[in-house]
Amino acid sequence: MTNRTIRIWTLIHKWTSLICTLFMLLLCLTGLPLIFHDEIESLSAEDNLPPMPAETPMKSLDEAVASALATYPGERPLFLSFDEDRPVVNVTTGPTARPPVSQMHISAIDLRTTRILADLNDDQGFMHAMLRLHVDMFAGLPGELFLGFMGFLLFLATLSGVVIYAPFMRKLSFGTVRAGRSRRLKWLDLHNMLGIVTLMWVVVVGLTGVINTLSVPLVAYWRSNELAAMIAPYEGKPVPERFASVDAAVRKAMEAAPGMRPQFVAFPGVRFSSNHHYAVWLKGATPATNRILTPALIDAETGAFTDMRSMPWYMLALRLSQPLHFGDYGGLPMKVLWAVLDVLTIVILGSGLYLWIARRRGAQEQAGASPGLRAVAGEAAE
Amino acid sequence: MKPRAPLPLPAIFGIPAAIALVTTAGLVIALLDDGLVDALSWAALSVPILAAVWSWRNRER
């Protein structure tokens, strides 16, 4: 690489990093407790399932929905999701078909009694604040997309960091940390070493985070394309006055897709369904296929099966981006590794910031030399 | 150990590329199944962390 090329990549690294670093620090710090949100929330969980005989019959899903609506009169059902390994469904209700999240109510309902175990309306508290800061900084969709753009800058910073890693390491063997000389040299070596070993984790978590910020536009695109094609005969029909049985709709969907299990049901009119259908989102039964969702549409007026189609590639990418970003697919040890890698990323961000400040201070003391070039040439020649 | 002549690119990026590959494998395999592959994934994702620990322990003082 010529000095000119090196200087250009150094500038790219410097500016993409400078712009995104403070936001990335925010994301790493708020992300740390979020990795363990299941564990933290179960500490204060009040919805322990009362023991009952194993053969206790289940009530119908319609009775569960009725139970939620009795608690929130005047609302309508939006979603119904199934707990993984206990007879519990979570029913989301709201005043309209697509209300803001703050107006939704989520009830965890024991399917054996239809008694409400807990309301999951967590819109305050520490974890909620962490989540909002992490997702959109309390700024809604614009905040979400802004953080997505910051994530993209992080990707560019990582990429340019890999390029300028080469001239730095021309005369150093892998993993060299010169801790005995200046403080700046020690942190430079640590920044380079930590940056290169965590490279792939940072790229994967960063880019899947960016994809997650695109969730709202991607689902809207899916709704107006794929979903519109599936329900073409129903175009323009209003939301039905009365809904047919959701229990029957789920059974019909499962008949149409043997071997699959329901993950959640989207009621007519909501973001994940059409105006006229129950969308029963089915998942595969094996660990490899249970992240792949297939929506089956059931006419919410007649209860008839309408159509079922697998997800397009961008919805699949969105779906897979969740576990790869959250690190919640390999048990507690994976979460711990996620946390350690997150802390290493904080060290990379912090040391990068320190190096920039130290270099500026150095440049002011010996004005004249080009700081970007000297940084590379000076250290690489050590 | 500090070599005198400039290192060729494969020497600079050999170990980092291997760590990146192992990380990728660790991230992907845990998606495919539960049980044994989870343990493999933990081992793989420990590699970048262990590399960092190793290089800090061997720092030049």
Q: Is residue B19 part of a domain?
A: no
Q: Does residue B55 lie within any of the structural domains? A: yes
Which residues on B lie below 8 Å from A320 (Cβ)?
31
Phi, psi of A100 (to 5 degrees): -65, 155
Q: Is residue A156 a part of any domain in this protein?
A: yes
| Inter-chain residue contact A173 with B60, CB threshold 8 Å | no
Nearest CA to A267 out of A118, A148, A38, A93 is that of A93
Residue B33, SS3? coil
DSSP assignment letter at B5 = S
Total tally of structural domains belonging to chain B: 1
Residue span of the structural domain in which B37 resides: 33-60
CB A338 within 8 A of CB A330: no
Residue B48 lies in a domain: yes
Instruction: Tell me which residue in A173, A190, A291 faces B1 most closely, judged by beta carbons.
Output: A173
Among chain B residues, CA nearest to A285: B33
Q: Which residue of B has its CA nearest to A323?
A: B31
Q: Which residue in chain A has the smallest CA separation from B14?
A: A174
Residue span of the structural domain in which A342 resides: 3-17+140-212+330-380
Which residues 2-61 on chain B approach chain A with CB closer than 8 angstroms?
Answer: 2-4, 6-7, 9, 12-16, 19-21, 23-24, 27, 30-34, 38, 41-42, 45-46, 48-49, 51-52, 54-56, 58-61
> Alpha-carbon distance A231 to A198, whole Å?
46
Does residue A87 sit within a domain?
no
| 382 residues of chain A, pLDDT tens digit each | 788 999 999 999 999 999 999 999 999 999 999 999 988 887 776 657 788 888 888 999 999 999 999 999 999 999 999 988 889 999 999 999 888 888 899 999 999 999 988 887 767 788 989 999 999 999 999 999 999 999 999 999 999 999 999 999 999 999 999 999 999 999 999 999 999 999 999 999 999 999 999 999 999 999 899 998 988 888 888 888 889 999 999 999 999 999 899 999 999 999 889 999 999 999 988 877 888 889 999 999 999 999 998 889 999 999 999 999 999 999 999 999 999 999 999 999 999 999 999 988 887 776 544 445 455 544 444 4
- Does A303 fall in a domain? no
- Out of A165, A175, A286, closest to residue B54 by CB: A175
C-alpha A90/C-alpha A298 separation (Å) is 20
Q: Which residues of B touch A340 (CB under 8 A)?
A: 49
A1 at interface of B, judged by CB pairs closer than 8 A: no
For residue range A247-268, list pLDDT tens digits in order: 999 999 999 999 899 999 999 9
> Which residue in the block uniquely carries the two structure tokens 């390029």?
A163
Residue A286's pLDDT is 80
pLDDT for the residue A320: 92
Asked if residue B22 is part of any domain, the answer here is: no
Inter-chain residue contact B30 with A334, CB threshold 8 Å: yes
Look at residue B45 and tell me if it is in a domain. Answer: yes
B13: Cβ–Cβ under 8 A, 6 or more apart, which residues?
A166
**A108 within a domain of the structure (yes/no):** no
Q: Give the tens place of pLDDT for each residue, A263-304.
A: 999 999 998 899 999 999 999 888 778 888 899 999 999 999
Count how many domains chain A has: 1
Alpha carbon distances (Å) from A125 to A40, A42, A51, A132, A139: 12, 14, 30, 11, 18
Find where tokens 């962390």 sit.
Answer: B49
**Chain B nearest-CA residue for A325:** B27
Residue A313 inside a domain? The answer is no
Residues 128-187 in A contacting B (C-alpha not used; CB under 8 Å): 165-166, 169-180, 186
| Complex ipTM | 0.94
